[in-house]
Amino acid sequence: MKTLARVLMVGVILSMLLLVYGASAQQTARPVDLKIQAGVPQTINYAGQVLRFASPIGLAVRLEPYNEINIKITIRPVADGSGGPQTVINEDPLHIYWENFGTDVYLAEPPSAVWTGIMYTESGFTEK
């Protein structure tokens, strides 16, 4: 009888561990849409990654899971609300700095159209 009780207890414990592991393994970051204001530095935390944005123009940024370990980043310029062309605050480049790896995701003139990159969270490499 003691043996049966022990076997059942071990079975219950293993089942609970599998349920907890399965639930945590399925938790992935959800897509996030952000607005970056021109001339206002902003720090974003997403899926354990820290990104700093400094932009001379307004941007719409989307961060989303690419797979279990990588992040897809999409950037597009947004109108300033005047109905005219994009207002450039200064001549500085768009700078997206990845603090986790001390590297630049983007450091150049702001894109005039949609720009997409894949951030490899195990190496700090960004595929553009």
Burial class (CB in 10 A: 0-12, 13-18, 19+), 66: middle
> The whole model's pTM is what?
0.72
Tens digits of residue pLDDT in 71-128 = 999 999 997 654 445 555 567 899 999 999 999 999 999 999 999 999 999 998 888 8
Mean pLDDT of the chain: 83
Closest CA to 26 of 53, 65, 56, 59: 65
